Structure 1
Amino acid sequence: MTEFHFTLHATDGAARTGRIDTPRGEIRTPAFMPVGTAATVKAMLPESVRETGADILLGNTYHLMLRPGAERVARLGGLHRFMNWDRPILTDSGGFQVMSLAELRKLDEDGVTFRSHIDGSKHRLSPETSMEIQRLLGSDIVMAFDECPALPADRERIASSMRLSMRWAARSRAAFGDRPGHALFGIQQGGLERDLRAESAEALREIGFEGYAIGGLAVGEGQEAMFGCLDYAPGMLPEDKPRYLMGVGKPDDIVGAVKRGVDMMDCVLPSRSGRTGQAWTRRGQVNIKNARHADDPRPLDEHCTCPACRSYSRAYLHHVFRAGEMISGMLLTWHNLHYFQEIMAGMRAAISEGRFAAWEADFHATRAEGDIEPL
């Protein structure tokens, strides 16, 4: 059986390209992971997601444990079979959703007690239960259970939260046990405090993980502050393991993160935007709701090969969105995911060929042009 293994192929400045080998297939890095919150990438078939170029999906432990339940997923053959995706899946630990979604949560040293946002039922999550739920789901990459305070927060709060997360990381490692072919990632915390990030990275290195995530960013601090942290945070983590920035982001966030040494990212943005009439293109954002598109026979992006651009006009996309037709969210989501994967493929090639700076300059210049002129 293929073991979980990361190979670094090339670097260009801090930017890296490589490959993660897993028993369920390879993941080309830098990688963007579409989010399949409740065992589906909304408005997409799994084979369509694969067609966009995705090597791996993300599933949400919190949502799946509440509905349909991890035990049920396990009885039905695990998450891969359940959702008809035979390639790698990463599951988050549930910690972030508990902090942001759950009602009446109570945090203590052992874990978190909370009430479901669905029906108010009471649940308990700890490092041990998070590892067990993720084992039942059968994901290939498991995330350590952590606590993520929203920024801005005072230094004392960030420090105590980070140290609790490090104690939970050690418990997650112990509870994960020996699972050949599966990987456990630790999560660096510490807000925007450089010394706390260093302390966190040191604690995680000491425990030892198959990969390392940068947590606690993209939680309200703004791009400039996030990039400031990413100027040093990835370099604190082991060079020979994948580095995953959680919950990022917009196209320029993704490019800026890869430039600073990040290998993996996930975000609901391409699918959520698609359902609300927002298309991301190489020339920036297009709001398909706007009246200017009503008579426009041109595609969203003439250089794009996705089904939305290949076969449908802006006028049609405007019409089906206005009419509330399901195909609107399907086509725009496909386009957005295709574009995000196109960015990743472009960066992988540019890093391999030592021309990342030129690629990045072109990326920003094209976006700055803005959308094509109205007819």
Structure 2
Amino acid sequence: MKFSLLHNDKDSKARAGILETDHGSIETPIFMPVGTAGTVKAVHQRELKDDIKAQIILGNTYHLYLRPGLEVIENAGGLHKFNGWDKPILTDSGGYQIFSLSAQRKLKEEGATFKSHIDGSKHFFSPESVMDIQRIIGADIIMAFDECTPYPCEFKYAKDSLALTHRWLDRCISRFDETEPKYNYSQALFPIVQGSVYKDLRIQSAEYIASKNAFGNAIGGLSVGEPAEEMYAMTEVVTNILPKDKPRYLMGVGTPANILESIALGIDMFDCVMPTRNARHGLLFTSNGIINIRNEKWKNDFSPLDENGTTFVDNEYSKAYLRHLLVCNELLAAQIASVHNLGFYLWLVKEAREKIIEGSFLEWKNKMVKQVAQRL
């Protein structure tokens, strides 16, 4: 793999780069649609490629380990072969999912024992086993096993958790280095910066992660309920420390405004379930603002979902028609809305990239942050 920085914005820390993998190149900044169980909900792979223009998608270790299970994925030849997606894939280590099951898991130095949310069966993840599992899944980019602290959390808890995450990281790196990819293409391991909203812990973690000289680095434990200002402050602290020549991934973020502000702070990669989850409930993101398509006001509005959106998605459906489908609980509603929202997110980061290259990013970002956050 290779990461090249092509442009740095003159007025902010925003960057435009290219990340090259064995399954294709990724132009950064990039948004990665979330395909938790091996599929982006309600969206066909063909739509991901042709309409949404996705360059990389996510899978999740916890969910794929439970269903369909490692035997099925390995017999298929890895997740790319199993789900028919021939572009890059990133897998989250499952840490966030396990630690969100606080009543159903036990944490210790060796790893985490947890109960399946499906049938209550007991399982154990260690840093070593999570590396092995992600080797079998076969993602191009895999994540270290960490503890994602809740918000709010006490300083002592965050400090102890951070120390454990760093010890686990060392074990992840050792296991990763002593094993090989299973499917004849390269994989890269990203460590994860933690530390809650405590500046000194974030600095400590960023310095430790930077010292590992990994191919790329991630920032976790944000967008978990803290105010946006805290998220931006912690992100800035970390991006000031992480190597400039390596990709930076802000996990689980976020709204269109969050993404634009974080690009300005030097983030290259994003993922979030928000565009698809909100789509299924009738919330649309557009270049003019946010629409609740279920509202009565759209019942006789036959304009496209986004009047400015012909450049980022097939805009053949009207607001009135999508509202009708949602009110009737038609399955097509989730598909149209999901394709629209993901198309918008991918359009937004593409526009950001173009503005960075043109040298007009900051002015455009400041205008767009207000525009995309308003309710219509």
- Superposition TM-score tier, normalisation by shorter sequence: over 0.9
1:135 counterpart residue number: 135
1:270 aligns with 2:270: no
- 8 Å CA contact 2:93–2:143 kept in 1: the answer is yes
Q: Deviations over 1:20-44 (max 9, x none)?
A: 0001100110010000011000010
Q: Distance in 2 between matches of 1:160 and 1:319?
A: 51
Count residues with an aligned counterpart. 368
Q: How far does the alpha carbon of each residue in 1:60-98 deviate from its partner, in whole angstroms, 9 at most, with x for none?
A: 100000111122201111100111100000001111100
DSSP-derived class of the 1:311 partner = coil
Q: Deviations over 1:216-266 (max 9, x none)?
A: 100111211101112221121111110000000000000011010100010
CA contact (8 A) 1:191 1:216 kept: yes
Q: How does 1:110-149 map to 2 (within 5 A)?
A: 110-149=110-149
Q: Is the 8 A contact 1:103 1:117 kept in 2?
A: no
Per the TM alignment, residue 370 of structure 1 is displaced from its structure 2 partner at its CA by 4.9
Cα offset, 1:356, TM superposition: 0.8
Partner residue, 1:337: 342
Residue identity matched to 1:112:
A
Q: CA contact under 8 A between 1:102 and 1:116: conserved in structure 2?
A: no
Does the 8 A contact of 1:38 with 1:63 survive in 2?
A: yes
Query: Is it true that 1:9 corresponds to 2:6 in the alignment?
Result: yes
The aligned counterpart of 1:18 is 17
User: Comparing 225-234 with 178-187, which one deviates more in the overlay?
Assistant: 178-187
Q: State whether structure 2 residue 357 is matched by structure 1 residue 360.
A: no
**1:156 and 2:156 matched:** yes
Report the aligned-residue RMSD: 1.5
**What is the CA–CA distance in structure 2 between the aligned matches of 1:298 and 1:206, rounded to whole Å?**
53
Q: Report the counterpart of residue 95 of structure 1 in structure 2.
A: 95
Distance 1:323 1:298, change over 3 A: same
Q: 1:196 to 1:307 in 2, by over 3 A?
A: closer
TM-score, with structure 1 as normaliser: 0.95
SS where residue 309 of structure 2 aligns?
coil
Return 20-29 or 66-75, whichever deviates more. Answer: 66-75
Alignment map for 1:173-192 (pairs within 5 Å)? 173-177=173-177, 178-179=180-181, 181-192=186-197
For residues 175-196 of structure 1, the C-alpha deviation after alignment (integer angstroms, 9 at most, x for no partner) is 1125562100000111112221
CA contact (8 A) 2:313 2:343 kept: no
Partner of 2:32: 33
Distance 1:140 1:164, change over 3 A: same
Q: Sequence identity of aligned pairs in percent?
A: 45
1:307–1:331: 8 Å Cα contact kept in structure 2?
no
CA distance in 1, matches of 2:215, 2:206: 14
Cα deviation for residue 314 of structure 1 reads 1.1
CA distance in structure 2 between the partners assigned to 1:75 and 1:282 by the alignment: 43
Report whether the alignment pairs 1:300 with 2:302. Answer: no
For residues 22 and 367 of structure 1, do their structure 2 counterparts lie closer, same or farther at Cα, with a shift above 3 Å needed?
A: closer
Deviation at 1:297, TM superposition (A): 1.3
Give 1:305 deviation, angstroms: 2.2
Instruction: Please give the TM-score of this superposition, normalised by the length of structure 2.
Output: 0.95
- Aligned mates of 1:367, 1:171 — CA distance in 2: 42
2:153 and 2:31 map into 1 onto residues whose CA distance is: 29
**How many angstroms apart in 1 are the aligned matches of 2:116 and 2:338?**
28
d(CA) in 2 for partners of 1:132, 1:369: 45
Say whether residues 1:291 and 2:290 are aligned partners: no
- 1:308 deviation in Å? 7.3
| Separation in 2, partners of 1:283, 1:261 | 25
2:266 is the alignment partner of 1:261:
yes
SS in 2 for 1:258: helix
Matches within 5 A, 1:207-246: 207-246=212-251
Worse overlay, 171-180 or 128-137: 171-180
Q: 1:111 to 1:365 in 2, by over 3 A?
A: closer
The equivalent residue for 1:282 is: 287
Q: Deviations over 1:106-136 (max 9, x none)?
A: 0000100010000000000010010011000
CA distance in structure 1 between the aligned counterparts of 2:195 and 2:261, rounded to whole angstroms: 20
Counterpart in 1 of 2:257?
Answer: 252
What letter is aligned with 1:68? P
The amino acid across from 2:41 in the alignment is: K
Distance in 2, Cα, partners of 1:316 & 1:29: 34
Shift of 1:365: 4.6
- Letter of the 1:66 counterpart: L
**1 CA distance for matches of 2:105 and 2:306?**
45
SS of residue in 1 equivalent to 2:104: strand
Q: Which amino acid aligns with 1:49?
A: L
Q: Using the alignment, how far apart are the partners of 1:265 and 1:34 within structure 2?
A: 9
Seen in structure 2, the aligned counterparts of structure 1 residues 163 and 317 have a Cα distance that, compared at 3 Å, is: same
Distance 1:368 1:195, change over 3 A: closer
Distance 1:103 1:159 in 2: 21
Change (3 A) 1:171 1:50: same
| Aligned AA (2:271) | D
